[in-house]
Amino acid sequence: MFGSRLLMLEHIGRRSGRRRYVVLEVVDHPTPDTYVVASGFGGNAQWFRNIQANPRVRVYAGSRAPTPARARVLSQHEADNTLGIYIRRHPHAWTAFQRVLENTLGTSVTETNTPLPMVELRMAANQSGG
């Protein structure tokens, strides 16, 4: 449904307790059971705040069935490395995307000390995702 560059993340509202959904670009897919996504609206994005309160999520990606996962915010070092990988793999997309991110975040975005929060989504068949 979403191909390899996008996924849909089901997360739980931190106040409402209701299921919420957001479509995100896959920044990296280092293993078959791990995706990395970025919060283009920084740390204030509702989905990002929700996964910090409850890291149990469900991932809808490619042709695989919706899969329970656990979200983990990457360290600064991990986020910098991941952004560097993305920039090298998708230089043309990055040229356009960088401008949008910088306008949204109000600061420069580079692979050194990036202000862009990144989240690892690790699939786990034995977790309940929502």
Where are the chain's structural domains? 6-123
**Contact by Cβ (8 Å): 50, 12:** yes
Q: Output the pTM of the full model.
A: 0.89
113 pLDDT tier (thresholds 50, 70, 90): confident
Mean per-residue pLDDT, 45-63? 96
**Contact by Cβ (8 Å): 121, 9:** yes
State the architecture of 6-123 in CATH terms: Roll (2.30)
Residue carrying structure tokens 């977790």: 127
